[in-house]
Amino acid sequence: MSDLIEDAGPADRANAPEFTVSEISGAVKRVVEGEFPHVRVRGELGRVTRPRSGHVYLDLKDERAVLSAVIWKGTAARLATQPEEGLEVVATGRLTTFPGQSRYQLVIEDLRPAGQGALMALLENRKKMLAAEGLFDAARKRPLPWLPEVIGVVTSPSGAVIRDILHRLRDRFPRHVLIWPVAVQGANCAPEVANAIRGFNALARGGPIPRPDLLIVARGGGSVEDLWGFNEEIVARAAADSAIPLISAVGHETDTTLIDFVADRRAPTPTAAAELAVPVRLELLAATEALGGRLAHCVTAAMARRGERLRDLARGLPRPETLLDWPRQRLDSLGDRLPAGLRASVQARRVALSEAGGSLRPGLLTRALAGERRRLDACGPRLAPALSRRVEAGREALARRADRLSLRPIEAEIARGRQRLSEQGARLDAAFARGVEAQRRRLETADRLRETLGYTATLRRGYAVVRGDGAVLTRKSQAEQARALEIEFADGRLAVGGRTRKPARGDEPPEQGELF
């Protein structure tokens, strides 16, 4: 690209190479992507749009600038924080260009709130919205069963939370426990927790898997970002729609999430949730629980190591989805412009049809036919003199060359000239005959059209025109007041009390609707 921006003199500018629009756009794209392959941008989200393709188009802005950004469908589905207008975020991705609109944009691969301040502002907005819908009302909360037969626990299967709950349940009163394993933080936390609550409610009573009498949604302590999955709207609505009484035990006693406001009872810790669920009975066997925890931890660690190895290998593979980035965006752009283009095309064809229909009048056809007839009459008399002039010019040229040419080549040239003249004359005669025939057919067609549009054809179908005092009469009262009447038929005119006469050429034809 250095040769594109190098300062050159007038002579060098005149000899500089030329680039096509695609070449210069590709060069700019390579420079931008090469200089900014991985960037983190902080700003406020604005104009978040989600077309039917599943991609997300948005703007990152601050007080002085706006940066267009796009999140492809696959990336948007696994984001931990979904973009909302007005949210301050830190976006991670790469800069690229969109040649179809001559602009640069950020392809976002990860999106996170910009600190706890942005998260708390978003949380307050959600709390106000759900409270306005009545999801926090005390009248909606159900009492907990005194001694549930089956308890469903929604939490991570490998963390300390489930061990604490099970330990406390066995210590107080052993019960049948169903565990629905979920991710308790990250992008998959909110959908997995919501699906687990709905899944427990979907179990039928008396089925192969017993339906729980009580649900516990639990997680250990952590930062606001770690607990954010339990502040998502889908989790709060799933807890509110649950027909099974639900205890929320997310974080420590000082941690508060949206599910705590919607649940039937809030426990300050997961252990306290187990104490709320059942009364006291016996202590648990700590050694057995520890061995089970160690086994779960080893399995989780082994799976984590293998998962990390798999991700390391995946980074070395090419990314085929990047090949379709620009066609996807161009398809979205063309899809937005398609309805307006179709409407404009239909409107243009309607206007053209109206203009063409307005020009089909008998007067225009008659004038066009007369013009063609005059042009044909003017071309006919000029044909013979033109041929004579051409022959005479050939004779003069032949005479000028007679001294330099022998008789035999001259005779051969004359013979060829005569042959060409005969052929040209024959072609000209044929073309003239075809032109005359075409003009005759057009004249006949126009004459038939004139007769069809004229009122005389209507007279031949049995109608008549009544005139009185030199004007066409259309009403009975006008005929009664006229001094003399004249009725025009297809074969002539009849004066009432007089004689018939042929219609004169200068007689005015009746207007449409004046025939009887």
Q: Return the structure tokens found at 179.
A: 């565990």
Q: Report DSSP state, residue 242.
A: -
Q: Strands 471-472 and 465-468, how do they pair?
A: antiparallel
Instruction: Work out the percent of the chain whose per-residue pLDDT is above 70.
Output: 86
In angstroms, rounded to a whole number, what is the distance separating the alpha carbons of residues 358 and 350? 12
pLDDT of residue 503: 52
Q: Which amino acid is at 495?
A: A
3-class secondary structure, 40: strand
Q: Which amino acid is at 223?
A: S
Least confident of 20-34, 314-328, 428-442: 314-328
Average of per-residue pLDDT across 478-482:
84
Average pLDDT, the chain: 81
pLDDT of residue 284: 43
In angstroms, rounded to a whole number, what is the distance separating the alpha carbons of residues 155 and 184? 7
pLDDT of residue 281: 62
Q: Per residue in 39-61, pLDDT tens? A: 888 888 878 888 888 899 998 88
Least confident of 2-16, 292-306, 418-432: 2-16
Average of per-residue pLDDT across 196-216:
91
pLDDT of residue 13: 63
Q: Per residue in 332-386, pLDDT tens? A: 888 888 888 888 888 888 888 777 766 666 666 777 778 888 887 777 777 778 8
Q: Strands 150-155 and 88-98, how do they pair?
A: unpaired
Work out the pLDDT band at 498, boundaries 50, 70, 90.
very low
Considering only residues 136 and 7, tell me which one the structure prediction assigns the higher pLDDT.
136
In angstroms, rounded to a whole number, what is the distance separating the alpha carbons of residues 472 and 60? 79
pLDDT of residue 214: 93
pLDDT of residue 512: 44
pLDDT of residue 141: 87
pLDDT of residue 513: 40
Q: Does 413 have pLDDT greater than 80?
A: yes
Q: Per residue in 249-262, pLDDT tens? A: 988 877 788 888 88
pLDDT of residue 405: 59
Average of per-residue pLDDT across 271-276:
90
pLDDT of residue 186: 80
3-class secondary structure, 206: coil
Average of per-residue pLDDT across 111-132:
74
pLDDT of residue 2: 46
Work out the pLDDT band at 1, boundaries 50, 70, 90.
very low
Q: Does 502 have pLDDT greater than 60?
A: no
Instruction: Work out the percent of the chain whose per-residue pLDDT is above 90.
Output: 12
In angstroms, rounded to a whole number, what is the distance separating the alpha carbons of residues 187 and 152? 23
In angstroms, rounded to a whole number, what is the distance separating the alpha carbons of residues 150 and 177? 6
CA 43 to chain CA centroid, nearest Å? 28
3-class secondary structure, 87: coil
Q: Return the structure tokens found at 441.
A: 């057919």
3-class secondary structure, 112: strand
Work out the pLDDT band at 312, boundaries 50, 70, 90.
confident
pTM of full prediction above 0.85: no
Average of per-residue pLDDT across 291-313:
88
Q: Per residue in 133-187, pLDDT tens? A: 888 888 888 899 988 999 999 999 887 888 889 888 888 888 899 999 999 888 7
Residues facing residue 91 across a β-bridge: 41, 111
